[in-house]
Chain A
Amino acid sequence: DGGITQSPKYLFRKEGQNVTLSCEQNLNHDAMYWYRQDPGQGLRLIYYSQIVNDFQKGDIAEGYSVSREKKESFPLTVTSAQKNPTAFYLCASSTGSSYNSPLHFGNGTRLTVT
């Protein structure tokens, strides 16, 4: 079955450590996205990539970094510079622009930093 796989489902880290969240898709989608979701809130865009080897900052990119070396992979690194990293992180992909193409989401990674 085609889809998006995020791993791990739960992740715990100590403050000051960088951590990388995995996102892999086998849908052959060009565009991929990272969102952050806080309790009772909507989704906020961290980074997005419309094509391999290219990515743009979203609304809350500070303290995060990404890479897009392969079409199917879009890992997100949460650095120690991110002040409030504890959140639910969602990866998504689409065939084209999210303007008019439905997003396909993974099941998220819940990151807890203490």
Chain B
Amino acid sequence: SQQGEEDPQALSIQEGENATMNCSYKTSINNLQWYRQNSGRGLVHLILIRSNEREKHSGRLRVTLDTSKKSSSLLITASRAADTASYFCATPHGNNRLAFGKGNQVVVIP
């Protein structure tokens, strides 16, 4: 079964608004990764946050990690139409594997 589960599953926002999505996981981890996937394309790595980090920024992206609640959030600030994509969280799972959530589809309306 997949470890990471994103919430909400789908999000539609106006350009310029912020988009927040969450990811929960079940077992202890040493890091968590977020990826973006544009329609019909491969995934692109966004951020890796380690278990000893609480928050990490990359451009308009902000990721938080709460290991006590086993959850992470991805915030996209000042969204643009180009941010329309699916966003996946991924956590270490088993031997040299990543478990991906089902993805969170974000639509940014111009």
Residues on A close to B: CB < 8 A?
Answer: 4, 6, 31, 35, 40-43, 45, 48, 50, 56, 58-59, 90, 92, 97-100, 102-108, 110
Residues on B close to A: CB < 8 A?
Answer: 2, 4, 30-31, 33, 35, 40-45, 48, 88, 92, 95-103
Contact partners of B88 in chain A: CB under 8 A: 42-43
Contact partners of B97 in chain A: CB under 8 A: 45, 48, 58-59, 98
Please name the 8 residue pairs, one residue from A and one from B, whose CB atoms are nearest each other, closest first.
Answer: A105-B42, A102-B45, A42-B100, A43-B100, A99-B92, A42-B102, A105-B43, A107-B42
Contact partners of B45 in chain A: CB under 8 A: 102-104
Contact assessment for B96 and A108 in the assembled complex, using a CB-CB cutoff below 8 Å: no
Contact partners of A31 in chain B: CB under 8 A: 96
